[in-house]
Amino acid sequence: MYSYSEFDDAFLAQRNAQFRAQVERRITGALTEDEFKPLRLMNGLYLQLHAYMLRVAIPYGTLNGAKMRKLADLAERWDKGYGHFTTRQNIQYNWPELRDVPDMLDALGEVGMHAIQTSGNTIRNVTADHFAGAAADEIADPRPVAELLRQWSTDHPEFQFMPRKFKIAITGSPNDRAVTKAHDIGLRMVERDGQAGFEVIVGGGLGRTPMIGKVINDFLPQADLLPYLEAIVSVWNQIGRRDNKYKARIKITVHEHGIDEIRRLVDERFARTRKAFSGVDQQMLREIEGHFAPPAFREGDTAPYDQALQHYPAFRSWSDTNLTAHKHPDHAIVTISLKAHGATPGDASAAQMRLIAGLAERYGYDEIRISHEQNVILPHVHKADLPSIYSALRAEGLGTANVGLISDIIACPGMDYCALATARSIPVAQEIATAFDDLKREHDIGQLKIKISGCINACGHHHVGHIGILGLDRAGVENYQITLGGDHTEAARVGDRVGPGFSADEIVPAVERIVDTYLDLRSDADEAFIDTYRRIGLSPFKAALYPETRVAAE
């Protein structure tokens, strides 16, 4: 993984000192809140419903044991003993006090972490496939490029005061696990005639106007990446709308001008930006690639794994759901579920973080990833070590065998924490997970992604959930709208709204009716929910959800 250079350390120390002085000036009243707000947001500090919230960047979701331990230390010392992993592969602390935040940032600096550009109208933390560097289906590890983008975009002078925030995601696998089509820019690593390059997708996004990104360039040679992205961002920075924040994202710019016109403008701009890049960026990329060299995968007998599979049903069940094929056949990718039934999706205690850090160091080549699905990944584990890892995880409440199933729910913090929320998300997720666990139905139901957002901004990715739930405030009462058939993969699609929303009491029964309909109508047990939906469409689900409407129509 990338480790900071002397230059990086000096930059971060200077930035933290600057923010410390800004906090002091706010506390004395020398800065008003209006003056302070943009400064604190640049450093990841929000003021939420009940407290400040510090959003710490986990660049492209990559951590090691030391970094995870530091996150645990922060949770224990300055929070209430836990942290919340988010759909942006970040971690949020819900309870810091203003005076302590500079100390938290200095503590993060000790392990090369920060909260810069996790908010504000800047280029945000670059996200990536959480199986990067490990997946059997990968063309190339996207993290060196993601790190290059992090260095390029951090404190980039031209891109600090843009029309709105800007998010970039990258995948090195044709199976898109990074939701690239729902980002301002999505990058898919591709090869053409032996040459490495990118398919560049622009103008995707969720929020109040969900859009699936469009291909602006189907093959961009690797060396052209930074000047090309600089061209895209600077074209948008000039023509993106600043008159209306709801129309400011690049998805609206692309929609209003058309992808062909945007491509023309970008090409025109690129002709100028390209000359400014002398090749130093490519030298830097080569140097960064050295930091991401794959570990020397150990050889060994996988018999202990095969034996445990045979004799230990709980382990087998966990292996079925929580393991993914690794590029090295003796190894596996472990997804640690942060979705224990009834728990808050994405929350991890300090003790859990420390356990994960220890497991990564002992068994996992000191590598950890955070997924946008709010789980933790040990990307490289020799199969012989899986039984020991499973036992250790179980003992700390981390052994839930539900990855990809109905209880593996994405949920934003919602109105339990967030000042923007219009309804709660967490209790809906908790109740759905508990309801299906009580009936022990989720393994029968199979792959099904529920994604819940507590407001229209869609941090919970509800538009691309197989079942999406959006919490709204309808005349002073929480109300939940359902969408079906959303898809977050390379076949990205925005879900279809089923009809009027449901109250907090009605939402779990409504999800149960959807699932019952699917179980009745699937062709066989191997047909996943999303495939059944693609085959039969919205109508049968609508009929199950609104029987009174059907009767009236008849």
Partner 1 sequence: MPKPFTPKVVTANHLLKGDVIYQTATGWTRRLSEAEVLTDEADADLRLIEASQQVDAVVGAYLAEVKIVNDAPQPVHFREEFRATGPGNHAHGKQVELR
Which residues form the interface with partner 1 (CB under 8 A)? 26-29, 32-33, 47-52, 80, 82, 94, 96-99, 344, 347, 415-417, 424, 426-427, 430, 473, 476-478
φ/ψ of residue 453, rounded to 5: -120, 145
Closer by beta carbon to partner 1, 98 or else 111: 98
Query: What gap in Å lies between CA 288 and CA 551, rounded to an integer?
Result: 64
Closer by beta carbon to partner 1, 151 or else 344: 344
Closer by beta carbon to partner 1, 366 or else 408: 408
**At residue 457, what is the residue type?**
N
Q: How far is the CB of 232 from partner 1 (least distance, A)?
A: 36
DSSP H or E run through 199: strand 195-202
Closer by beta carbon to partner 1, 138 or else 416: 416
Q: How far is the CB of 537 from partner 1 (least distance, A)?
A: 35
DSSP H or E run through 27: helix 6-28
Closer by beta carbon to partner 1, 247 or else 424: 424
Q: How far is the CB of 454 from partner 1 (least distance, A)?
A: 11
Closer by beta carbon to partner 1, 93 or else 159: 93
Length of the chain: 554
Q: How far is the CB of 388 from partner 1 (least distance, A)?
A: 30
Query: What gap in Å lies between CA 409 and CA 203, rounded to an integer?
Result: 26
Give me the residue label for tokens 């929480």.
Answer: 478
Kindly give the residue spans of alpha helices, DSSP state H, lying in 175-258.
225-239, 250-257
Q: How far is the CB of 355 from partner 1 (least distance, A)?
A: 19
Closer by beta carbon to partner 1, 455 or else 510: 455
Cβ 23 vs Cβ 99: under 8 Å? yes
Q: Tell me how far apart the terminal alpha carbons of the chain are, to the nearest angstrom.
A: 62
Cβ 144 vs Cβ 132: under 8 Å? no
Per 3-state DSSP, the chain is made up of helix, strand and coil in percentages (nearest 5) of 45, 20, 35
Q: How far is the CB of 48 from partner 1 (least distance, A)?
A: 8
Q: How far is the CB of 472 from partner 1 (least distance, A)?
A: 12
The set of residues, in sequence order, having a beta carbon less than 8 Å from that of 501 and lying 6+ positions away, is: 472, 474, 479, 480, 481, 482
Q: How far is the CB of 99 from partner 1 (least distance, A)?
A: 6
Q: How far is the CB of 411 from partner 1 (least distance, A)?
A: 10
Q: How far is the CB of 91 from partner 1 (least distance, A)?
A: 16
DSSP H or E run through 272: helix 259-276
Kindly give the residue spans of alpha helices, DSSP state H, lying in 375-454.
386-395, 426-438, 442-445
Closer by beta carbon to partner 1, 43 or else 234: 43
Closer by beta carbon to partner 1, 148 or else 423: 423
Closer by beta carbon to partner 1, 101 or else 360: 101
Query: What gap in Å lies between CA 73 and CA 69, rounded to an integer?
Result: 6
Query: What gap in Å lies between CA 166 and CA 159, rounded to an integer?
Result: 9
Closer by beta carbon to partner 1, 34 or else 524: 34
Q: List Cα–Cα distances, 484 to 86, 179, 527, in angstroms.
A: 22, 17, 16
Q: How far is the CB of 418 from partner 1 (least distance, A)?
A: 10
Cβ 42 vs Cβ 36: under 8 Å? no
Radius of gyration of the chain (CA): 23
Q: List Cα–Cα distances, 266 to 64, 243, 249, in angstroms.
A: 38, 22, 16
